[in-house]
Amino acid sequence: MNMERLKEVLAQARSETGKVIIGQHEVIERALICIFTGNHALVEGVPGVAKTLLVRTLAHVLGADFARIQFTPDLMPADITGTNVFNLQRNEFSLIKGPIFTSFLLADEINRAPAKTQSALLQAMQERLVTIDRETHSLPANFTVFATQNPIEYEGTYPLPEAQKDRFMLKISMTPPDRAEELLLAQRTMTRDAPETLLAQKVVRPVIKAEDLAELREGLAAIVLREELVAYLVDIVRATRTHESVLVGAGPRATQSLIMAARAQAAIAGRDFVTPDDIKTMASPVLEHRLILRPEFEIEGLTVTEVIQQILQQIAVPR
């Protein structure tokens, strides 16, 4: 499948998803970047900004299965992965698969569950495998986790371990729509054009089948990334480890994520080559959740986003 087909599918997927998700164009693009690079996303936003609807819509548009897990303090790992149950009629154990056996998994409010339950996702996210009672099972090839967090409510939550945060390629921040977009949403509410109604009535059409995703992903490898841009990208990631305000910088997995994200960003823009702007655009969503600032700088009000912008200004852009 050639590059033109990849660009066409990305444009169609963006268009069809945009029929349901009003505004949020950047969010849709970044979600598509995660899907088409075979990675996972940490979605942050206050309640009611259509986080669940976004993932459900993308699953429909890309012909994939969808499942949702509401993370709570009493959720157990077996509730996610599934368990073996003894069948009296057959006199044997049979596997009852958990919701993790799907293509697009929405892990809603993932920080509500304790670390033991959160860690049940680690093997699945990294290897697309699940071990149940010492037996390993494969997950669908398109298995993608969209984990949501509420950025303002921390009471009764369990912070994600660094190892798990590093497995999310991007942090996608969903903000409330602007006035014009919210006005459009208000006008469409209780009509046939309401976002949930459009999805329920299947007005939004699938643009590909789930099995086509793997072939489309191969097209990203054809996008040209010049050697000097690879060096520029590596220098950005390495600078996070030596910046005076950073306690823990980004690891090598961040370098790989930034390369894939920049290529996918170029494809979404309709180009077959990566530019420095693609790298700059994706630097913040790739690095933001991976950095830990020193406490004294946090007290002064410095943010991770500001640190990343400082690093981008310090490193010379190749011509």
Q: Are 121 and 253 part of one and the same domain?
A: no
Domain boundary among 163, 189, 218: 218
Residue pointed to by tokens 């976004």: 54
Rounded CA gap, 142 and 104, in Å? 7
Q: Are 111 and 124 part of one and the same domain?
A: yes
* Distance (Å) of CA 126 to CA 59, 108, 119, 166, 261: 20, 19, 11, 10, 17
How many residues comprise the chain?
319
End-to-end Cα separation, the chain, in angstroms? 31
Q: Tell me whether residue 250 is exposed, middle or buried, using C-beta atoms within 10 angstroms of its C-beta: 0 to 12, 13 to 18, 19 or more.
A: buried
Q: Are 10 and 29 part of one and the same domain?
A: yes
Rounded CA gap, 281 and 243, in Å? 20
Q: What pLDDT does 39 receive?
A: 94
What are residue 70's phi and psi, to 5 degrees? -90, 110
Q: What pLDDT does 61 receive?
A: 94
- Per-residue pLDDT band for 201 (boundaries 50, 70, 90) equals confident
Domain boundary among 195, 218, 241: 218
Model confidence pLDDT, tens digit, residues 139-165:
999 999 999 988 776 676 788 877 788
- Per-residue pLDDT band for 119 (boundaries 50, 70, 90) equals confident
Mean pLDDT over 171-191 rounds to 90
Q: Are 111 and 165 part of one and the same domain?
A: yes
Q: Pick the residue with more confidence: 93 or 290?
A: 290
Q: Are 277 and 212 part of one and the same domain?
A: no
Domain boundary among 218, 239, 263: 218
How many alpha carbons fall within 13 Å on the CB side of residue 82?
A: 23
Average pLDDT, the chain: 90
Q: Are 214 and 232 part of one and the same domain?
A: no
Q: What pLDDT does 46 receive?
A: 85
Model confidence pLDDT, tens digit, residues 224-248:
999 999 999 999 999 999 999 999 9
Q: Are 29 and 154 part of one and the same domain?
A: yes
- Distance of alpha carbon 110 from the chain centroid: 13
Q: Are 186 and 259 part of one and the same domain?
A: no
- Distance of alpha carbon 220 from the chain centroid: 17
Q: What pLDDT does 154 receive?
A: 67
Max Cα distance, the chain (Å): 71
Residue pointed to by tokens 């921390």: 154
**CATH code (residue 302):** 1.10.8.80
Rounded CA gap, 263 and 213, in Å? 16
Q: What pLDDT does 162 receive?
A: 79
Residue 124, both tokens: 């699945």
Range among 47-56, 187-196, 230-239 rated most confident: 230-239
pLDDT exceeds 90 at position 86: no
Position 170, amino acid: L
| Number of domains the chain is built from | 2
Poorest-pLDDT segment among 5-19, 102-116, 142-156: 142-156
Model confidence pLDDT, tens digit, residues 258-314:
999 999 999 999 999 999 999 999 999 999 999 999 999 999 999 999 999 999 999
Q: Are 203 and 257 part of one and the same domain?
A: no
Strands 104-108, 92-97: pairing is: unpaired
Q: Pick the residue with more confidence: 313 or 23?
A: 313
Residue 258, both tokens: 């930034």
% of the chain exceeding 90 in pLDDT: 62
Q: Tell me whether residue 81 is exposed, middle or buried, using C-beta atoms within 10 angstroms of its C-beta: 0 to 12, 13 to 18, 19 or more.
A: buried
Beta-strand ranges (E) seen in 112-204 are 129-132, 135-138, 144-149, 168-173
Q: Are 247 and 161 part of one and the same domain?
A: no
Q: What pLDDT does 150 receive?
A: 81
The answer to whether the CB of 101 falls within 8 A of the CB of 113 is no
Q: Are 26 and 162 part of one and the same domain?
A: yes
Position 33, amino acid: I
Q: Are 47 and 183 part of one and the same domain?
A: yes
Mean pLDDT over 111-126 rounds to 85
**CATH code (residue 145):** 3.40.50.300
The residue segments making up the domain with residue 42 are 3-218
The model carries a pTM of 0.91
